[in-house]
Amino acid sequence: MLARIQDALEGQIDFKGQQMTELLTTVLLIFSGAIAFLVGYIQQDIHLTLWAGLAGTAATGLVVIPPWPMYNQNPERWLAPTAAGVAVAGVTVDGVKVA
């Protein structure tokens, strides 16, 4: 059970998930800022503008900070680990076989 909790809190997301969170962050913050400005302008209340902006920032944080499963749909395939000092057979660098 502890391993499950650790996996959930570890925050593993893939590269496409990182790109999606960056885009979501930008879009949501611009949208919440525009809404906060309009609310404050219509009501003529800077205090209300600040609270609306804070609410939009908090909502954006709830969307992008936790490692939701939608951010890890394209995991990278890494090479299998090898023993220290043992080269992987068949590795070619600039046309020269290393091992």
Digit-coded pLDDT (tens) for 31-42: 999 999 999 999
Tens of pLDDT along the chain (99 residues) come to: 787 777 767 778 889 999 999 999 999 999 999 999 999 999 999 999 999 999 999 999 999 988 888 888 888 887 777 665 555 566 777 777 766
What pLDDT does residue 44 have? 96
**Phi-psi domain of 94 (left: phi exceeds 0; alpha: psi -120 through 50; beta: other):** left
Q: What predicted TM-score, i.e. pTM, was given to this entire model?
A: 0.69
| Whether 16 contacts 78, CB under 8 Å | no
The contacts of residue 19 (CB under 8 Å, 6+ apart) are none
Q: List, as one string, the DSSP characters of 30-81.
A: HHHHHHHHHHHHHHT-HHHHHHHHHHHHHHHHHHHSS--GGGGSSPPPPPPP
